[in-house]
Chains A and B, each alone.
Chain A
Amino acid sequence: MSRFIAIGLQGGGKTYLIKKLFLDKEPNHLVIDPNDEYGDTYTRYVPRYTDDYEKLNAEMKLCIKKLVLPNTWSLEQMQVHKDKEKPDRLKLLVIDEADLIAPARTNINAALRNLVVKSRHLRLTIVFISRRPTDLNAYLMDTADFLFVFKQVGYNSLRVLRALKVDSDKVIKDLDYNKHEFLFFDRERAYTRYTLDTFDIPLEP
């Protein structure tokens, strides 16, 4: 029921991490997959208008309204069906290339914002994946519960990440790209250094 952000350069290991930590453990998931690259193992929505922000905005609104929300359950609905057999509900939403849908310096898609606000109520875990923190809408950065940050080298990216925790930018710059090292920021923005194999914190779902 938390909101996660994974940031990292292409090939850094963020998609592998999200698959391993979340998607492979939760069958009731949906991946927003703009690059159509997750394959048939995962349930996904492939947007059509990835090269036109206005159209993509409208398409995502439709996707959230017609595909995501009808498959989630609110706390009240779960209470009503407490003793009954419940149909599968959507528990995990992964949005890859999240900066396409929620780019920096634009008003965030209202439907997406609404979903983020209601995510805890809907018992829905949301994971946003992006390459650079500077590309992603500040609202998502600010409201994320946890962050996975892989190696970054750009001045602006490091400057944004420094805002999360002073001096974290130096550590992020020194992360080993080939070993897929990353920092895990918790709710207090305290961070710990891990690799894909050493990460041992149990996460929902």
Chain B
Amino acid sequence: MANKFDLDTIIAEEVKKAVGSQTPAPAGGILDGITLQDITNFLGELSKLKTQMGALSPQTITPAQPILNSAPIQPTAPQPTAPALNPEGVYKGIIQGIDMIVPIMGDVKLSELKTYMQENKDSVITLIGDGLK
């Protein structure tokens, strides 16, 4: 049977060539065995920790006992609370992180991971969102 080609065929072929041309990372490296779920869980834990740290930060600095002949210490402006965690932001962070890591590590698995994340953005964001709960 004859073939039918379209734009997706060409793009798929180019992606396959691009991925295939990269040097695979040696087996058993430090990133070997790390899955997307591990990364999202880790980021989720990191975000929770950040939230908790933000909650512990004093909102205002209470002035100490007034010292005579000294100007009163003005209370500092309230510290802005940590911004609400945004799965979209975390997603962008992951992509940026991978962009920074791949040129250094040259680990093909990360670029495959990035491709996977870009192709499955919604489900990845959902995963990150679940990790942030």
Binding site for B on A (CB under 8 A): 40-48, 59, 62-63, 66-67
Q: Across the two chains, which residue of chain B brings its CB closest to A23?
A: B2
Number of A-B contacts (CB under 8 A): 33
Say yes or no: A40 contacts B10, CB within 8 Å.
no
Say yes or no: B2 contacts A66, CB within 8 Å.
no
In whole angstroms, how far apart are the Cα atoms of A66 and B13 in the complex?
Answer: 9
Q: Across the two chains, which residue of chain A brings its CB closest to B10?
A: A66
Say yes or no: A44 contacts B14, CB within 8 Å.
no
Other A-B pairs, 10, CB within 8 Å; known A40-B1, A40-B4, A66-B10: A43-B3, A43-B4, A44-B4, A45-B4, A45-B5, A46-B6, A48-B6, A59-B7, A62-B7, A66-B13
One of A42, A44, A48 near B7 (C-beta < 8 A): A48
Say yes or no: A46 contacts B5, CB within 8 Å.
yes
8 smallest beta-carbon distances between A and B, as pairs? A43-B2, A45-B5, A48-B7, A66-B10, A43-B3, A46-B6, A42-B2, A40-B1
CB B98 to nearest CB in A, in angstroms, measures: 27
In whole angstroms, how far apart are the Cα atoms of A45 and B10 in the complex?
Answer: 10
Q: Assess A45 versus B2: contact at CB under 8 Å? Given A66-B13, A66-B14.
A: no
Residues in A with CB closer than 8 Å to B7 are 47-48, 59, 62
8 of the cross-chain contacts (CB-CB < 8 Å) are A43-B3, A44-B3, A45-B5, A47-B7, A62-B7, A66-B14, A67-B5, A67-B10
Residues in A with CB closer than 8 Å to B5 are 43-46, 63, 67
Q: Across the two chains, which residue of chain A brings its CB closest to B17?
A: A66
Binding site for A on B (CB under 8 A): 1-7, 10, 13-14
- Secondary structure dominating the interface of B: mixed
Residues in B with CB closer than 8 Å to A62 are 7, 10
CB A61 to nearest CB in B, in angstroms, measures: 11
In whole angstroms, how far apart are the Cα atoms of A108 and B53 in the complex?
Answer: 63
One of B1, B2, B10 near A63 (C-beta < 8 A): B10
In whole angstroms, how far apart are the Cα atoms of A43 and B6 in the complex?
Answer: 11
Residues in B with CB closer than 8 Å to A63 are 5, 10
Residues in B with CB closer than 8 Å to A66 are 10, 13-14
Residues in A with CB closer than 8 Å to B14 are 66
Q: Across the two chains, which residue of chain B brings its CB closest to A62?
A: B10
Residues in B with CB closer than 8 Å to A59 are 7
In whole angstroms, how far apart are the Cα atoms of A40 and B6 in the complex?
Answer: 14
Residues in A with CB closer than 8 Å to B6 are 45-48
Q: Across the two chains, which residue of chain A brings its CB closest to B14?
A: A66
In whole angstroms, how far apart are the Cα atoms of A62 and B4 in the complex?
Answer: 16
Interface centre among A42, A45, A48, A59 (most CB of B within 10 A): A45
Residues in A with CB closer than 8 Å to B1 are 40
